[in-house]
Structure formats: structure tokens, C-alpha cells
Structure 1
Amino acid sequence: MLVIVVANVPPALRGRLALWLLEVRAGVYVGRLSKRNRERLWQTVIDNLGEGDAVIVTPDAKAEDGFAVRTAGANRRRPEDWDGLTLIAFHPENDAASEPDSAGGVAASGLSQ
């Protein structure tokens, strides 16, 4: 299963996500895609994010908790790996805006960039 949560993104991106995934709440998309399609969709999110932010949760058999978390955009909550467990660090508002994410977002739980 895959979960993507977006906030403050352009309507075109929300429409693109709705083509592939089920929108269970405003900005929360769930579904099941192959790894190839999942990566392509995540790249579409990154490319069309605008001023918004996004987080993706995907299965990861290598991770202790069984899933991986990546973020894109100026997100105050960032996943951090602590001895194999993914914890979410909450950064002050001015920190989140001053540290842009890389193209793939923040990697955690065994994901590599």
C-alpha cells in the first residue's frame, strides 16, 4: 500500500494523483502501485509541487518498521532514521523554509537517494 499526503499544491497535481490513487480525505491519497509507477508518480509530485509540500509512505521490507517515508517541499515534519526506526522530527517554521529538500525528499528507513 502507498499513501501520499499533499498540502498547498496546484489543482493540476491533485487531479493527477486522483487518476492513480483514491483520495480518501482532502489531500490524502492511497493505493497500490508497482515500484516503477510509484517512483514515476512521486517524481511527478516533486516536479509539480509548487509552493506546497508532500509526504509519501511506501512499503519497505528492509526497514525495521516495514515502511519508508520521504518528504518534498518545505515540510516542518521530517523523517529521521534512528537505529533503524523512523522518527519524525518537528522543526520550527523558520527552519523548514530555510532548508530546501533535495529532489527526492528526505530519505529514511533504508531508502537511498
Structure 2
Amino acid sequence: MGTMVVISTTAVPDRVRGSLSRWMVEPKAGLYVGTMSARVRERLWTAVSETVGEGAAVCLHTADNEQGFVILTAGERRRQVVDFDGLQLVQFLARPDEDGGEPEWQELPEGW
């Protein structure tokens, strides 16, 4: 039996959107929802993550863990998924400093 999968895309090539629309419903531009086996999900996500180009994609699917889901990401954006004691949390990339230097990841507060 398949599980529910949600994939959100931003600025990906048309071929990625076409591949996703063959397997999933697109209720809103860039948002795909479907039910599929783990094997199909893994192959589809591999194809998406290898071809996002300058864009980005996020995949959420159900899993047998504390949160009940897993988050996968491809491409570079301000948000990064980090593992914190078995929980997936999102940390934000800091804005570049005033002198134009490279941005750094904001660390989670102590005790978080």
C-alpha cells in the first residue's frame, strides 16, 4: 500500500514539473500531492533532486518515527533541515553581513 507524499518546488525546470505531474496531482503551482509506494517515491525524488538546477524542492512523506514524517530537500535556499536528537527541525540561513561577506548558519540556542 502506498503512502501520502507531498513535494513543493520553487523555480525548477519544466521537465521536473512534467515528471512530477505524471505521478502526482498539482493542486497549486509547484505543490504536488500523491500516494505511491516507497520505491516509486525514492526513484521520483532521486530524479527531482538531480535535476532541480538553480531551483529547490522539498519532499515530505509519512514515516514510522517520532514526528510521523520525513523531510527531504534539494537545492539551495535559506532553510536547512537539521537533525536534533532524532527530530527534524528547520534552521534559517542568516542574511549576509553588511560588508557583503558570506552568510552563516544560525545555531540553535543552547538547551534547545
Fold conserved between structures, TM > 0.5: yes
* Residues 53 and 71 in structure 1, CA contact (< 8 A), matched pair in contact too: yes
Which one has more relative contact order, counting CA pairs under 8 Å at least 6 apart?
1
Counterpart pick for 1:19 among 16, 19, 22 = 22
Provide the identity percentage.
Answer: 45
Change (3 A) 1:83 1:48: same
Q: Distance in 2 between matches of 1:88 and 1:66?
A: 16
In 2, Cα distance between the equivalents of 1:5 and 1:40?
16
Counterpart CA distance in 2 for 1:33 and 1:6 is 18
- Alignment deviations for residues 64-105 of structure 1 (CA, whole Å, 9 cap, x no partner): 1100001111021111122222211111355xx989xxxxxx
1:9 maps to which of 4, 7, 12: 12
**Deviation for aligned residue 1:56:** 0.5
Whose helix fraction is larger, Structure 1's or Structure 2's? 1
| Runs of at least 4 residues off by over 6 Å | none
Kindly tell me the number of residue pairs found equivalent between the two proteins.
Answer: 96
**Ranges in structure 1 where 5+ consecutive residues have no aligned partner:** 100-113
* Match for residue 90 of structure 1 among 69, 89, 92: 92
CA RMSD of aligned residues (A): 1.9
Q: Which residue of 2 aligns with 1:33?
A: 36
